[in-house]
A and B are shown apart, each in its own frame.
Chain A
Amino acid sequence: MINRRKFIRSLIFWALLAPVIVVILFPYAVMTITALKSATEVHDPNWWPSEWRWQNFPEMWETSGFAPALLNSLYVSGLTTLLTLVVSIPAAYALSRFRFFGRGAFRQFLLVSQMLSPIVLVIGLFRLVASLGLIDNLNILMWVYVAFNIAFCVWMLQSYFSTIPRDLEEAAWMEGAGRARTLIVVFLPLAVPAIVVTAIFTFINAWNEFVIALTMLRREENYTLPIRVFSLVAGRYTVDWNYVMAAAFLASVPVAIIFAWLQRYLVRGLALGAVK
């Protein structure tokens, strides 16, 4: 049974959203269509190719160094996520369960470090890394990402942790479970959704980061994906746009699909975290 009023309302709403959705989908269309054009047709002023050229993908894979960049990105983003959680979860737990001297100061420190974005600090960061002799090192890149994600993660986790009722933990203490055991058996299982949401955000942040990677990475074999794709475009006299778009497609569509699938949870989590 289609509800008539709801149907008309839906038509109006879709019509209102249509302009925005067209503009949002436009770059995806450009990316997908160009990725499937032949090198000669790329520069024709036509929208559609005469034939869909799927070989662009294997050819791009061969010539552009996509695979090592993909591995680098997975390595850096995966480890960043893991380490950020390892240092953020205890801090968030402390903020939500203890009243201690300096708690307010620590929260303010987080706020300030959230405010200082990598780009504003880029000169100082470069000097820090250079003085350690670690330019062009993926591990130091990862540590920088961890540092810049801590504030957001602690903030998000803390606001979730505060919504987990204390009674459950207190009940476990009464039963004689120690603090550590309560934490592992009672608290952390309840916090899993929050941890997953935060992990995904951290992963996406690291996956997409541009400025620091651009500044710190020198040799091509160390490039992460955004730098790899950017290097196919920047400072070149001729750009193979079909390969660039194929690379952009492979680098972004899997993430976009995962994101679309998890979007509902992420949205709820962020809305909660931002305001609490």
Chain B
Amino acid sequence: MNRLALPYLLILPSFVLAAAIILWPVGEIVTLAVHDVNRFGMLRGFIGFDNFRELFADPDFFAALWRTLVWTAAVVLGTLVVSTPIALILNEDFYGRSLARVLIMLPWAISLTMTAIVWRWALNGESGMLNSGLRGLGLMNENIQWLAQASTAFPMQILIGILVSIPFTVTIFLGGLSSVPEDLYDAAAIEGAGRWTQFRLITLPLLRPFINIAFVLNTIYVFNSFPIIWATTQGGPANSTDILVTYLYKLGFRLGKLGEASAVSLIMFAILLVFTLIYVRLTMREEAA
């Protein structure tokens, strides 16, 4: 009896804690989403899908949804494109490699909030150091108000997003590269394969599961990323850099529309669930292989 109960006793504390603090809010959000809720959180009656209808009538919601997709796609793809060559280089033997590794991993050590606050200052229109730096280098003549309009603010936020995602992605790739057996390359070299052919026929296929995992995990992280946009523009000016998470936060805590905000949460769950299912399938396929 004791023997049988042991594993359950071992997982019990973690399960109870995570379930209480994660599943309970989920239930709460589902309840709020289908009720008429006042701004103090009092339920005023079941209204079915009215909160969703309200949401779908709001052009800001669709703008934020669309921007979230652009944000996620741009950051994730940008990160993969930049990280692949970085990982390949860091996997080679060269002078100063450990220093290069530390430098590339550096953004990881600083909180997103601090990074975003520093960038907010660096991008300041009047006295920001990006403007003065670029002017000093003779690259431009007039100050750009980087964060004053979405057309410059949003690309900058994407750039910051890519920068902070590189360390994690490079790490996954380096793990993958270290699992490629060296003698495969030797064999290929004997067969007369050049470096590009080696990359295409050996490295890339063996790296594929790692690229897949980095892709899905980054997608989940970036989709949920709040501090970069909140600490640089708070979704402004005029909601023009809002993504779903900042839209949700404003809806819930500034406008007090808790029902609609919960509906946004549920829509995000649905999207995240799809990502997670993809992740599960990818890892399972890898385990099977």
Show the binding face of A for B, using Cβ within 8 Å. 6-7, 9-10, 13-14, 16-17, 20-21, 23-31, 33-34, 42-47, 86-88, 90-91, 93-95, 98, 100, 102-103, 106, 109-113, 115-117, 119-128, 130, 143-144, 146-148, 150-151, 154, 204, 207-208, 210-211, 215, 226, 229-230, 233-234, 241, 244-245, 248, 251-252, 255-256, 258-260, 263-264, 267-268, 270-272, 274-275
Contacts and interface: CB of A to CB of B under 8 A. Distances in A.
Contact of A20 (B6, B104, B122, B248): B104
Given A21-B103, A143-B17, 8 more contacts: A20-B86, A123-B248, A147-B20, A248-B118, A260-B106, A271-B174, A271-B175, A274-B172
B120 to A, nearest CB: 7
B133 A260 contact: no
A94 B217 contact: no
A264 B175 CA distance: 12
B202 to A, nearest CB: 18
Nearest to A29: B129
B280 to A, nearest CB: 7
Secondary structure of the A side of the interface? helix
Contact of A27 (B15, B28, B115): B115
Secondary structure of the B side of the interface? helix
A27 B11 contact: no
Contacts of A268: 175
Contact of A122 (B127, B135, B178, B249): B249
B268 A120 contact: yes
A29 B18 CA distance: 40
B114 interface: yes
Contacts of B26: 116, 121, 124
A264 B272 CA distance: 31
Contact of B129 (A30, A98, A211): A30
